[in-house]
Structure 1
Amino acid sequence: MTSRGSTLFDTAIGRCGIAWGARGVTAVRLPERDDDTTRARLPEGHPPADPPPEVRDAIAGMRALLRGEPRDLADIVLDLDGVPEFHQRVYAVARTIPPGRTLTYGDVARRLGMPGAARAVGHALGRNPCAIVVPCHRVLAAGGASGGFSAHGGIHTKWRMLTIENAPEAPQPTLF
């Protein structure tokens, strides 16, 4: 990638936003209440632009995942410059969780070799700059509880994404 830019793109859950720079994707935002709010949550200095091929491929992968295809987005290059090292480690573990599967905050902490750091893991995931690519929605509180979710729509959005992925922990629809 050679320059900075950003764009909005349609998905099964609404219009998401993505920003990129010379070293990779710098941000992915889930849909907000409107396009202007989604754009405003993208980093400054990333003007609207046509995405380069690597970003178009990333968008295609995210669209497929949000349609229910079990896509692995591990090949999307992220530029996490400026993100604290601990957060980067948490995001690396989260990126290993396959679609349709989940871990708990405590599981992630144990994989980091820090079994008492579940709360810190949750804090790091709450500041995730690259939602979908860093699948923070796949990390739950102990006992399958949802935990938090900072995206627009909160827990509802998290459960919706898990349901699309057919995660066994996702709530089953109620028939009337």
Structure 2
Amino acid sequence: MGEGAYAPGHTLFSTAIGMCGIAWAQGTVIAVQLPEATPERTRARLLNDLPRSAESASPPAAVQAAIEGIQALLNGEPRDLLEVPLDMDRVTPFQRDVYAIARAIPPGQTLTYGEVANALGDPSLARAVGQALGHNPFAPIVPCHRVLAAGGRSGGFSGGNGVPTKLRMLQIERVRIGREPGLFDG
């Protein structure tokens, strides 16, 4: 293996919202999984579409840094996680474009599906943006939770426990949705 490359593996790790999973290969993160109902379900969903990989008790340094960044983000630290290298080989060019825009949304801020579509140059792509985010294999490194439906509505969310997980992540980031005071507003 060349410099920066390491054997494929995966592991589960604890966060403020539950047990997450991460998988890696060849120097990049290949998938992240938000908490499911049980650690076993989290692992199964993480590995669902991945090549077989052995679990590693000790992730490589770059993966450990990604884990620590995710833990900090889910503890309320404003982390953008842009330094985490992602393997985009399993996603389409359109998904790559959507994920690049989502990654550029700073913690605590949001865009709508329509705004992401506009940034792509075609306002009619809002639904396709939602579908691409629904297939995001890198949440929260690609922060699809920061993309909302029109009018500040939550929209869908395929990670973890669905929309409640999305709303919890937005609350952790102190995002205010709509006109109602947020959980952390005093």
TM-score (norm 1): 0.95
> What letter is aligned with 1:151?
G
Q: Which residue of 1 aligns with 2:135?
A: 127
Tell whether the 8 Å contact from 2:36 to 2:160 is kept in structure 1 after alignment: yes
> Following superposition of structure 1 onto structure 2, how do residues 85-124 of structure 1 map, counting pairs within 5 Å?
85-124=93-132
Are 1:70 and 2:78 an aligned pair?
Answer: yes
SS at 2:123 equivalent: coil
Which one of the candidate residues 25, 28, 33 is aligned to 1:24? 28
SS at 1:60 equivalent: helix
Are 1:156 and 2:160 an aligned pair?
Answer: no
Q: Offset at 1:172?
A: 2.7
Which one of the candidate residues 64, 67, 70 is aligned to 1:59? 67
> What letter is aligned with 1:11?
T
Are 1:4 and 2:18 an aligned pair?
Answer: no
> What letter is aligned with 1:28?
V
Rounded Cα–Cα distance in structure 2 between residues aligned with 1:78 and 1:96: 14
Q: Offset at 1:115?
A: 1.3
Are 1:45 and 2:59 an aligned pair?
Answer: no
Count of equivalent residues: 174
RMSD: 1.4
Q: Which residue of 2 aligns with 1:33?
A: 37
SS at 1:120 equivalent: helix
Rounded Cα–Cα distance in structure 2 between residues aligned with 1:114 and 1:19: 33
Identity of aligned residues (%): 57
Q: Offset at 1:44?
A: 3.7
Q: Offset at 1:168?
A: 1.8
> What letter is aligned with 1:4?
P
> What letter is aligned with 1:47?
A
Rounded Cα–Cα distance in structure 2 between residues aligned with 1:116 and 1:23: 36
Q: Offset at 1:154?
A: 1.1
Q: Offset at 1:80?
A: 1.2
* Structure 1 unmatched ranges of 5 or more: none
